[in-house]
Structure 1
Amino acid sequence: MSISELPQGTVTLLKSGQVISSVSGAVKELIENSLDAGATSIEIRLEDFGFTKLEVKDNGHGVDKTQVPSMVQPHTTSKIREFSDLVMVDSYGFRGEALAALCSVAKLKIRTKTGNDLVASTFTFGPDYTVQNIESQAGQNGTIVTATELFYNLPVRKNFYKDHSRRKEEMRKVEKLVQSFSIINPSVRFSLFHNKVNIFGKIPCDNISKSSVAVLGHSCKTGMVEYYFVFDPSTCEVEEISLENYESSNDQILVYMMVPKKTLGMSTEYGRTNTEKTFTFVNKRPVELKQVEKVLRSAFSEAAGLEVEKNPVAVVSIIVGRSQRQSLDANLEPNKQKISLGCLNDLMEKTDQFLKNKYKEGDDKLKEPDTGHFEYEKDNNAQNDTATNYVKDAESNSNEEITNKMKDITEELQESKSLFSPGKGTNFL
């Protein structure tokens, strides 16, 4: 077969299938767009696990209606102007591919309204990125992106997701994704619906500590512990810091961790066979970092004394400051879920040492005698002895009184009997 250029339609589907390969991939791209638009409330609605209908609604600043046709074109973005801008980019999106890819594998509608618009505008797009229809209607500020019949033109992938177990697995991925964005964006309200049933929700809160508790459960307040530390790549030194210093630092590599406390039942309550409850972030981006998962699994399992390792319920957030951005690459894959960091191996080695040392400190605390508890038991036992003696005395006094009373009654009866019995000197009329 001779070498020839592929038709544009084939090229489009090949590229789009990499960017939007699943429902969770589509949801991720749309949530990131909403966060980049400054949204403080994001609502995700799925029908039939997202394959029939997928909708993401936000209250962000919206898009100027003259710009909407351009935003669906491939490789169009407002985030960067050239490749070198990637070093300092702070937005989630930057490739300019998400909406174009979604438009290629689903039927796409976008409704948007800015603060300057009197009404909202709804745009319907065709598979070739062209606007097929525009409608004006009442609506709130923000954007609603609706995708229907996902993978309608990719029969193999559509058939792959006909299996119910695969659809449920995809739903679990969507739920974890929404939970991840909820944790790392504390001030944003999130809600997830499937077939009109609310399956997850989180209200706005102040910081990552509170958002982690909101997502993982209130038992984390007592069963888990937080650590903040700074890592210096030039010296490979770690310094533990406070929450205030963590939030105010912006030019270093900062690490936040919420991990289970060292307790006797930690493996039962916080150990998992998978990583569904392990959340990792780099510069607020949910990522998959096997190195982080390995460190957490090793330290947790060693602390819990497990023969077979388990993954802990945990949150790890790494902030790479501007002075270290040259060593960070978030453009390894189209979905941006894997990153490269030049000092990652050194950082993980120090994180492993830090966490294991903290768990050893927990060992010492468990070994220390709880004198307060013993004093309480001593006092409690003394009180019990006093109460027992009191009861015994009361019973003894009570028995003595009853015996004396019985003697008095017996004597009275005997006197009465001798008084009224017939006998000598007694006259009965």
Structure 2
Amino acid sequence: MATIKQIDGRTIHRIQSGQVIVDLCSVVKELVENSIDAGASTIDVRFKNQGLDLIEVQDNGSGIAPANYESIALKHHTSKLSSYDDIGSLETFGFRGEALASLCALSTVSITTCVAADVPKGSRLAFEASGKLRDTSVVAAQRGTTVAVEKLFHNLPVRRRELERNIKREWHKVIALLNQYACVQTNLKFTVSQQPTKGRRIVLFSTKGNPTTRENIINIFGAKTMAALVPLDLKLEMKPTTLGSATQADLAAGLISLDVKIVGHVSRPVHGEGRQTPDRQMFFINGRPCGLPQFAKTFNEVYRSYNSSQSPFILADVQLDTHLYDVNL
């Protein structure tokens, strides 16, 4: 878990989100991003029964300090912002501090954590539905944090039945999301496994702590996929339609850059090197997975002018100054 800060009520009102956990994907997203923010070099994501029984994310990050045990799952207590202005220079994935509180309200949550100074003695934390710490016990642990989420939506019967009925579709969305994190995050060993109700645990895919996205793609999709790709390295300059007076002043002082880089990989623009469907198109803003339909449309239209019968594989990370976009959106 990353650094935790106290924030005032006015800031809470401006960053809060009504529903943080809405489906299986949002559970996985919040937990994986917490692990990345904690500086983890290894993340292990484990599912039982495609997440219906258990979702568990283990990392070797900084761990949670004992002073924060009481507040870690309380609403509005764990933001990574000190003030609303921090949002303009946000470099962490999470920032609202509502995910663990939401998870406690919708599932059974337990956390095992250990900071470097306490190895090999960690703590196992259990929580009430309100996020209040119910129980703490001493366990053997290495540095890092493991969050286990069991029986998601167990107290919301209609939502639980909906999840069970649509689990195949939700599962495909979760794997697609995890593929994105595993591809874009370098120097991070990322493993995803699934254990069916009956049977042994199966590793679905893993990366090896690679220094480049190229090697990550090979680990996940294979060398054959990589052989059909070319590097993507575009340099553009943004021309904003509107800028606040503060932003204009920062721009004049050279504190904000309008330079935009788009880096990654795309299918070679030759017939036969693309895919039959646009099922492997991943877009990011500063490493954060995003749905960018206008970007996707532009990429696909340009690609089809070279290969009209296929769609490209795309991994495109849009790198730009954090002041030029609203991370809330």
Q: TM-score, normalised by structure 1?
A: 0.65
State the partner residue of 2:176: 176
CA distance in 2, matches of 1:50, 1:220: 28
Query: Offset at 1:67?
Result: 0.5
CA distance in 2, matches of 1:103, 1:84: 29
Which of the two has higher C-alpha Rg? 1
Contact in 2 for aligned 1:293/1:311 (Cα 8 Å)? no
State the partner residue of 2:157: 155
CA distance in 2, matches of 1:37, 1:182: 16
Structure 2: runs of 5+ lacking an equivalent? 1-15, 196-200, 242-255
Contact in 2 for aligned 1:16/1:102 (Cα 8 Å)? no
State the partner residue of 2:9: none
Question: What one-letter code is carried by the residue in structure 2 that aligns with 1:177?
Answer: L
CA distance in 1, matches of 2:271, 2:292: 28
State the partner residue of 1:244: none
- Aligned equivalent of 2:216, options 211, 218, 223: 211
State the partner residue of 2:29: 28
State the partner residue of 2:298: 295
Question: What one-letter code is carried by the residue in structure 1 that aligns with 2:175?
Answer: E
1:94-144 Cα offsets, whole Å, 9 max, x none, are 011111111110011011000111411001001011111111011111000
Query: Offset at 1:53?
Result: 0.9
Query: Offset at 1:211?
Result: 2.1
Question: What one-letter code is carried by the residue in structure 2 that aligns with 1:132?
Answer: R
Question: What one-letter code is carried by the residue in structure 2 that aligns with 1:316?
Answer: A
State the partner residue of 2:194: 194
CA distance in 2, matches of 1:176, 1:124: 30
State the partner residue of 1:262: 269
Question: What one-letter code is carried by the residue in structure 2 that aligns with 1:193?
Answer: S
Paired residues in the alignment total 293
CA distance in 2, matches of 1:222, 1:202: 18
* Larger RCO (alpha carbons 8 Å, 6+ apart): 2
1:283-337 Cα offsets, whole Å, 9 max, x none, are 110000101111122122221133xxx542111110112xxx33201102xxxxx
Could you say which structure has the higher helix fraction?
A: 1
With over 3 angstroms needed to count, the CA separation of the structure-2 counterparts of 1:205 and 1:318, relative to structure 1, is same
Question: What one-letter code is carried by the residue in structure 2 that aligns with 1:328?
Answer: Y
Residue 46 of structure 1 aligns to a residue whose secondary structure is strand
State the partner residue of 1:247: none
CA distance in 2, matches of 1:272, 1:99: 40
Question: What one-letter code is carried by the residue in structure 2 that aligns with 1:52?
Answer: D
With over 3 angstroms needed to count, the CA separation of the structure-2 counterparts of 1:293 and 1:133, relative to structure 1, is same
Equivalent runs, 1:122-141 vs 2, <5 Å: 122-141=124-143
CA distance in 1, matches of 2:122, 2:300: 49
State the partner residue of 2:251: none
CA distance in 2, matches of 1:33, 1:255: 25
State the partner residue of 1:316: 316
With over 3 angstroms needed to count, the CA separation of the structure-2 counterparts of 1:235 and 1:51, relative to structure 1, is closer
- Aligned-residue CA RMSD (Å): 2.0
CA distance in 2, matches of 1:86, 1:33: 17
**1:98 correspondence with 2:103:** no
Query: Offset at 1:177?
Result: 1.3
State the partner residue of 1:326: 323
- Aligned equivalent of 2:122, options 120, 123, 132: 120
Query: Offset at 1:234?
Result: 4.2
**Please, which moves more after superposition, 105-114 or 296-305?**
296-305
